[in-house]
Structure 1
Amino acid sequence: MLQSPTYVYKLVPPSSPVPLNSRDIPLELPVSTLDKESGFIHLSTSVQVPNTLKFFFTEHESVYVLRIPYGFLEEGKVIKWEDPKAEVCGPRGGEGMFPHLYNDLKLGQDEIDAVRVLLKQADGSWDKSIQEAIQDGWLVY
């Protein structure tokens, strides 16, 4: 049996600002066009965050990362693990299935326990910010 993650993460572009203090997050945040079109909220595990940044946030210099306790989603039976569509970004070997949130596209204060901003480096990588988040114990499986 695979171990459930402690947290799953939602990556949000800087054009959709999110308060950094989780107490200030509204009850419901706006969802992305992709989430609306899909009918669910796309999430990533900590292991999947680096490639999600690489494939979907290339044009951004920063990104908000919303940390969501997995147990809460599992208890509510609103999480499904599904295969990514390889035609969007090609095969994502070793990343496995992705968590998708099926709760009427609601994501806000009730689901999110913390927010962090990751910054892209001058060389175009997110590596330094990701390593700092891991070292701080913020980005965990």
Structure 2
Amino acid sequence: MMIESYVYKILGAGDDARARELGHTDTDLDARDGYVHLSTREQVGETLALHYAGQSGVHLYEFVLERLGGNVKWEESRGGQLFPHLYGNLRLADAKRHWALEADANGNPALPAELK
């Protein structure tokens, strides 16, 4: 039996609406950097806090890493951590799970209970 690893894509409200129209993610940040920014389960909370604080309408998508093929590269980023970067399209239909994130007591998007 194969053990699956998961990576996560966070999308603000506008980027999520665009992704739903296109069927794949297409953010300005990803286009500028030339790859799709992803996070591991351990990184996703910090990514939310740093880049999505105070935002509403934030969505979180979970993908099986092994199903994304060989186009994921682990590259150094924030604080020397290795982050997964996808060089290719990230199709929403390939997501294993999806959450529309609720706000916490401070108005920030909160991780779903099953990821805490």
- Compute the TM-score of the two structures, normalised by the length of structure 2: 0.80
Aligned to 2:113: 132
Q: CA deviation at 1:6?
A: 1.5
Aligned to 1:53: 48
| Cα distance change on mapping 1:54 and 1:5 into 2, 3 Å | farther
Aligned to 2:72: 79
Aligned to 1:99: 84
- Report the number of matched residues: 112
Aligned to 1:117: 100
Greater Rg, structure 1 or structure 2?
A: 1
Q: Which has the higher contact order (CA 8 A, sep 6+)?
A: 1
Q: CA deviation at 1:111?
A: 2.7
> Are residues 1:9 and 2:8 paired?
yes
SS at match of 1:68: strand
Q: CA deviation at 1:110?
A: 4.7
Deviations 1:90-136 (A, max 9, x none): x37xxx31000011xx121453222111122232444xx4251326x
Aligned to 1:42: 37
Aligned amino acid, residue 7 of structure 1: Y
Q: CA deviation at 1:61?
A: 2.3
- The answer as to whether partners of 1:5 and 1:70 remain within 8 angstroms in 2 is yes
- Compute the TM-score of the two structures, normalised by the length of structure 1: 0.67
Q: Which sections of structure 1, spanning at least 5 residues, go unmatched?
A: 19-24, 136-141
- The answer as to whether partners of 2:54 and 2:107 remain within 8 angstroms in 1 is no
SS at match of 2:101: strand
| Percent identity of equivalent pairs | 28
Aligned amino acid, residue 12 of structure 1: L
Compare the two structures and name the one with the higher helix fraction: 2
| Cα distance change on mapping 1:5 and 1:100 into 2, 3 Å | farther
Aligned alpha-carbon RMSD (Å): 2.5
